[in-house]
């Protein structure tokens, strides 16, 4: 009875002591990052000295070398490369589009455009009347009108969706499959409204995928202002347009995932992975997408070493080679994890920008979620809570070989992400230092808690 | 018994029905604001067509006329002015400072500076050695060294404070009372580290207050980069500096609070007030401080009228005339409320910028807070929760005449606010449309709930 009573009273006390110890360690990491953090300076280097990093470009190869050199300087137990083949898409020239006729009257109004990533060149100037449709439903209804036309899809964001990733999810299918859906009915080109939330006219590129059964027609995204004006016009009257693009593929390129590792002291065979992707589109500096995730990853490593933290589990810090147009970096990481029979317990990706962190999202069972959510009071002082639904394109494949792996992600505030995502405006100047560093704080805190207490 | 049972079962159902009705109405308001919101366009007008609006300036008078005209266009029950006298401080010229000697060796290194608001001109060039101190404690310890010197206070933000308003609170006393604290011991001028979180060199002005018992010495804020460099140097070796400022006062100006009103249908005598302040400093467009609060206020009025919402209580939408250097707008509003024996039940201020909203903070009893927090589930989909501690410089005086008035505020994410606050960088381009509109959504939702359910 006395022992039972003792146990009864001691358990909460022990738990409280653990919470206090966690709270102290998280505060130490936070202070280290907010005071001495290198993420912002590293991001300046990556964006300003290296620049845009499309897979296959010399910049992307330099970025991997830069990542390896910088992570080595933090002196983890090891740093290694994982060579992988990536697509090598080339924009090939300056994309062009213009309105050249309005109701039969000639005009010349240049449009702000970018060819969609993976799309092929137009082989010269394509000129045709516009068929403007709101969505795939209208395309299907009007399929008999498509032949010989340039189809415009009004893939504008729904502004009432508070989480902009939901608006992106809904509009994204027009970028990905719009070209082949229109080609099926004889379209000669496709234009879409940029997948953007910005009140500006910067066009946003991004990956599309051709249906191999259809003609591979050229496809561009229009700047938001031009897109809205074109749609308003083309819904009512005949608009004739020109477009010219130059996309083509070189043979696959040799790139590398860069992996740093801290060896676990208690469970070295159990791996926790965090990462972001090194590659970006060609038209910007890839500052938020995904320079932020890259430097978040490096900052957490730096901080753990600076505080001489010795993890119980092995922690991997991964800069993935290729996410944007092929996902070959994540695929290679998973392929090797499977080959080497590695046991991953949790992976976290940061690929939603360097904005103020709002949540750590975790894809797991309801019981596991309830367990992780007991950590929310420890994260809340730094701005986040644990929510459901995390993942990422680079770590997602891991669940394909081992369903028990928990995938998670840093969820920053989403309001500004699609203002700059895949547009020329995704540059270092649009990243805020404190917001970026706070992201690293919350990732470090969550990974520390996973390392200390496991995934239940 | 049957009636009791009926009551027992019906109460939760009725409560649920009310929650659903509230949820539907809040969604309607949110959709209206995110789709048709005018806050961003109004802010563009206020910042780009009118510009900086220091009390006493023609811009500030134009801003009041603009506010009245625009609120009248939304057709509330009435719009009226509350004339008030405000200070009329003039910067008077281009503030200057430079390092002119290092350890006795002549040099010329211009510093980025702004005179502090309310500070008086230097009457020509002041040249003296720098005494650099970390804080008031060090000033007191070294008071015998102060005479004839220019005192530099290292009022740098503590970067480890996650909420930047806490860092501002701690550093702010050097701007407000540093000059007179140093003058007391014979200083001839004061320089401070700008109250800034930005990794740039833009100086930040803001109000200081002279102690009438001390000489009124000139006072400037240095750009952060210059401030850090100067402090590093002056801690170790003798640094000689020059400064020249031109501040003076014109006779008090005639300004106006602008008040729009929706008359209550059930409790017309009970008033709910929301507001922001029209005035700004002279060196910027006052976009976040407090153009955002002004257009938040106007947007909530616009939305309630657009949805034909007829409030139970009287709702006031107030554009305060003068907050930055005197607080005369809020003082006048309270003076008239007292004079007219008005019964205010709650006031909300938006004066922390147009960033993504994180909370509605309320200063009230713990029981009232618990009551307001039952609304958090209704606000959470739009990004906020109800927390404790709200208020604002314009509405604070209300509690002086009636302690039962609950004061509250919109709490946006604070990471970027002090990058731009009182600096030349507080311009329209640094306001994000969606973030701004979401602020209006959450204010509208909270005020709607107060109006429907009272303050308990």
Please, what are the domains in chain A?
28-86+252-453 (3.40.630.10), 94-248 (3.50.30.30)
In the three-class reduction of DSSP (H, G, I as helix; E, B as strand; rest coil), residue A238 is classed as coil
Does A160 sit within 8 Å of B31, measured CB to CB? yes
* Chain centroid offset of residue B150 CA: 30
Residues 6+ apart with CB under 8 A from A236: none
* Residue B123 half-sphere exposure toward CB, CA atoms < 13 A: 3
Which residue in B220, B329, B224, B234 sits closest to B277, CA to CA? Answer: B329
Does A31 sit within 8 Å of B160, measured CB to CB? yes
Strands (E), A284-434: 313-320, 343-349, 357-363, 385-388, 406-412
Phi, psi (5° rounding) for residue B447?
A: -65, -40
Share of chain B above pLDDT 90, in %: 95
Are the C-beta atoms of A408 and A345 separated by less than 8 Å? no
Does B31 sit within 8 Å of A415, measured CB to CB? no
DSSP A207: B
Residues 6+ apart with CB under 8 A from A232: none
In this structure, are strands B96-102 and B105-110 parallel, antiparallel, or unpaired?
A: antiparallel
Residues of A in contact with B34 (CB under 8 A): 159-160, 162
A16 — pLDDT class (breaks 50, 70, 90)? confident
pTM: 0.95
- Which pLDDT value is given to residue B5? 45
pLDDT tens for A218-239 read 999 999 999 999 999 999 999 9
Provide the token pair at B289.
């401080």
Say how many Å lie between the first and final Cα of chain A, rounded: 30
pLDDT tens for A44-92 read 999 999 999 999 999 999 999 999 999 999 999 999 999 999 999 999 9
Does A413 sit within 8 Å of B162, measured CB to CB? no
Does B199 sit within 8 Å of A40, measured CB to CB? yes
Q: Give the residue ranges of DSSP H helices in A50-196.
A: 58-73, 136-141, 164-183
- Which pLDDT value is given to residue A11? 53
A19 — pLDDT class (breaks 50, 70, 90)? confident
Provide the token pair at B258.
């602008």
d(CA B410, CA B275): 10
Specify the higher pLDDT residue, A5 or A318.
A318
- For CA atoms A224, A230, A234, A240, the dihedral sign is negative
Does A416 sit within 8 Å of B434, measured CB to CB? yes
Residue B7 has pLDDT above 50, yes or no: no
Place of tokens 């067509």: B49
Average pLDDT, integer, range B7-26: 75
Does B438 sit within 8 Å of A162, measured CB to CB? yes
From the list A162, A198, A419, the residue facing B383 with the nearest CB is A162
From the list A197, A383, A432, the residue facing B162 with the nearest CB is A383
Residue B270 has pLDDT above 80, yes or no: yes
Are the C-beta atoms of B149 and B130 separated by less than 8 Å? yes
- Which pLDDT value is given to residue B19? 83
Rounded to 5°, angle at Cα B90 from B87 and B91: 140
From the list A31, A356, A419, the residue facing B413 with the nearest CB is A356
Are the C-beta atoms of A126 and A189 separated by less than 8 Å? yes
In the three-class reduction of DSSP (H, G, I as helix; E, B as strand; rest coil), residue A270 is classed as strand
For chain A, the helix, strand and coil percentages under 3-state DSSP, each to the nearest 5: 40, 25, 35
Average pLDDT, integer, range B88-100: 98
Average pLDDT, integer, range B360-367: 97
Provide residues of B within 8 Å CB-CB of chain A: 30-31, 34-35, 40, 159-160, 162, 164, 197-199, 356, 381-383, 413, 415-416, 419, 432-435, 438
Neighbours of A165 (CB within 10 A): 14
Does B382 sit within 8 Å of A413, measured CB to CB? no
Does B162 sit within 8 Å of A30, measured CB to CB? yes
d(CA B372, CA B14): 19
Residue A337 has pLDDT above 70, yes or no: yes
Place of tokens 């039940």: B345
- For CA atoms A124, A130, A132, A138, the dihedral sign is negative
d(CA A317, CA A78): 10
Residues of B in contact with A356 (CB under 8 A): 356, 413, 415
Phi, psi (5° rounding) for residue A236?
A: -105, -40
Are the C-beta atoms of A375 and A362 separated by less than 8 Å? no
pLDDT tens for A388-426 read 999 999 999 999 999 999 999 999 999 999 999 999 999
Average pLDDT along chain B = 96
ipTM of the predicted structure?
A: 0.95
- Which pLDDT value is given to residue A1? 41
From the list B162, B164, B433, the residue facing A199 with the nearest CB is B433
Residues 6+ apart with CB under 8 A from A226: A111, A112, A113, A201
Which residue in A123, A116, A103, A119 sits closest to A240, CA to CA? Answer: A103
In terms of CA atoms, which chain A residue is nearest residue B382? A162
Taking the CA of residue B197 and the nearest CA in chain A, the distance in Å comes to 8
B13 — pLDDT class (breaks 50, 70, 90)? low
pLDDT tens for A140-182 read 999 999 999 999 999 999 999 999 999 999 999 999 999 999 9
d(CA A127, CA A146): 14
In terms of CA atoms, which chain A residue is nearest residue B199? A433
Residues 6+ apart with CB under 8 A from A432: A354, A355, B415, B416, B419
SS3 annotation, chain B: CHHHHHHHHHHHHHHHHHHHHHHHHHHHHHHHHHHHCCHHHHHHHHHHHHCCCCCCCHHHHHHHHHHHHHHHHCCCCEEEEEEEEEEEEECCCCCEEEEEEECCEEEEEECCEEECECCCCCCCCEEEEEEEECCHHHHHHCHHHCCCCEEEECCCCCCCCCCHHHHHHHHHHHHHHHHHHHHCCCCCEEEEECCCCCCCCCCECCECCCCCCCCCCCEEEECHHHHHHHHHHHCCCCEEEEEECCCEEEEEEEEEEEEEEECCCCEEEEEEEEEEECCCCCCCCCHHHHHHHHHHHHHHHHHHHHCCCCCCEEEEEEEECCCCCCCHHHHHHHHHHHHCCCEEEEEEECCCCCCCEEEEEEECCHHHHHHHHCCHHHHHHHCCEEEECCCCCCCCCHHHHCCCCEEEEEEECCCCHHHHCCECCCCHHHCCHHHHHHHHHHHHHHHHHHHHHCCC
Does B383 sit within 8 Å of A34, measured CB to CB? no
pLDDT tens for B309-336 read 999 999 999 999 999 999 999 999 999 9
From the list B160, B356, B432, the residue facing A34 with the nearest CB is B160
Taking the CA of residue A455 and the nearest CA in chain B, the distance in Å comes to 28
Share of chain A above pLDDT 70, in %: 97
In terms of CA atoms, which chain B residue is nearest residue A28? B160
Count residue pairs from A and B with Cβ separation < 8 A. 58
B11 — pLDDT class (breaks 50, 70, 90)? low
Provide residues of A within 8 Å CB-CB of chain B: 30-31, 34-35, 40, 159-160, 162, 164, 197-199, 356, 381-383, 413, 415-416, 419, 432-435, 438
Residues of B in contact with A415 (CB under 8 A): 356, 432, 434-435, 438
Residues of B in contact with A164 (CB under 8 A): 434
In terms of CA atoms, which chain A residue is nearest residue B419? A432
pLDDT tens for A43-56 read 999 999 999 999 99
pLDDT tens for B190-242 read 999 999 999 999 999 999 999 999 999 999 999 999 999 999 999 999 999 99
From the list A160, A356, A416, the residue facing B415 with the nearest CB is A356
B116 — pLDDT class (breaks 50, 70, 90)? very high
In this structure, are strands A248-262 and A313-320 parallel, antiparallel, or unpaired?
A: antiparallel
Taking the CA of residue B434 and the nearest CA in chain A, the distance in Å comes to 6
Rounded to 5°, angle at Cα A381 from A379 and A382: 70
From the list A160, A199, A382, the residue facing B162 with the nearest CB is A382
- Report how far apart, in Å, the C-alpha atoms of B390 and of each of B368, B377, B393 are: 13, 19, 11
Neighbours of B69 (CB within 10 A): 11
In terms of CA atoms, which chain B residue is nearest residue A379? B162
Does B356 sit within 8 Å of A413, measured CB to CB? yes
A4 — pLDDT class (breaks 50, 70, 90)? very low
């Amino acid at each position: 009875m006395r022992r039972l009573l003792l146990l009864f009273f001691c358990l909460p006390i022990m738990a409280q002591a653990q919470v206090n110890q966690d709270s102290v360690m998280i505060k130490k990491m936070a202070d280290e990052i907010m005071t001495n953090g290198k993420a912002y300076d590293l991001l300046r280097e990556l964006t300003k000295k290296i620049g845009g990093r499309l897979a296959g470009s010399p910049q992307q190869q330099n970025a991997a070398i830069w990542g390896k050199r910088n992570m080595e300087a933090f002196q983890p137990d090891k740093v290694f490369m994982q060579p992988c083949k990536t697509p090598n898409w080339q924009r090939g020239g300056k994309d062009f589009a213009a309105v050249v006729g309005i109701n039969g009257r000639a005009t010349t109004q240049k449009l702000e455009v970018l060819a969609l990533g993976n799309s092929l060149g137009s082989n010269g100037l394509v000129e045709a009347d516009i068929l403007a449709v709101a969505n795939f439903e209208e395309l299907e209804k009007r399929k008999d009108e498509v032949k010989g036309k340039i189809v415009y899809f009004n893939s504008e964001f729904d502004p009432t969706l508070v989480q902009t990733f939901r608006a992106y999810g809904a509009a994204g299918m027009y970028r990905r499959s719009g070209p082949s859906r229109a080609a099926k009915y004889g379209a000669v080109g496709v234009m879409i409204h940029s997948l953007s939330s910005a009140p500006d006219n910067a066009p946003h590129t991004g990956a599309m995928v051709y249906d191999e059964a259809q003609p591979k027609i050229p496809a561009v995204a229009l700047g938001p202002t031009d897109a809205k004006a074109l749609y308003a016009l083309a819904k009512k009257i005949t608009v004739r347009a020109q477009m010219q693009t130059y996309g083509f593929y070189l043979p696959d390129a040799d790139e590398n995932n860069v992996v740093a590792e801290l060896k676990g002291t208690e469970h070295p065979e159990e791996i926790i992975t965090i990462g972001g992707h090194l590659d970006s589109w060609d038209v910007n500096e890839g500052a938020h997408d995904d320079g932020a995730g890259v430097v978040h990853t490096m900052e957490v490593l730096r901080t753990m070493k600076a505080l001489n933290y010795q993890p119980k589990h092995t922690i991997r810090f991964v800069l993935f080679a290729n996410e944007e147009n092929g996902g070959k970096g994540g695929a290679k990481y998973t392929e090797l994890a499977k080959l080497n029979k590695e046991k991953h317990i949790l992976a976290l990706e940061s690929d939603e920008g360097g904005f103020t962190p709002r949540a750590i999202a975790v894809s797991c069972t309801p019981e596991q979620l309830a367990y992780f959510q007991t950590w929310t009071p420890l994260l809340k002082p730094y701005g986040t809570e644990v929510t459901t639904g995390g993942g990422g394109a680079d770590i997602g494949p891991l669940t394909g070989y081992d369903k028990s792996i928990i995938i998670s992600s840093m969820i920053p505030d989403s309001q500004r992400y699609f203002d700059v995502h895949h547009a020329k405006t995704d540059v270092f100047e649009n990243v805020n230092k404190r917001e970026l560093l706070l992201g690293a704080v919350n990732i470090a805190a969550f990974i520390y808690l996973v390392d200390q207490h496991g995934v239940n």
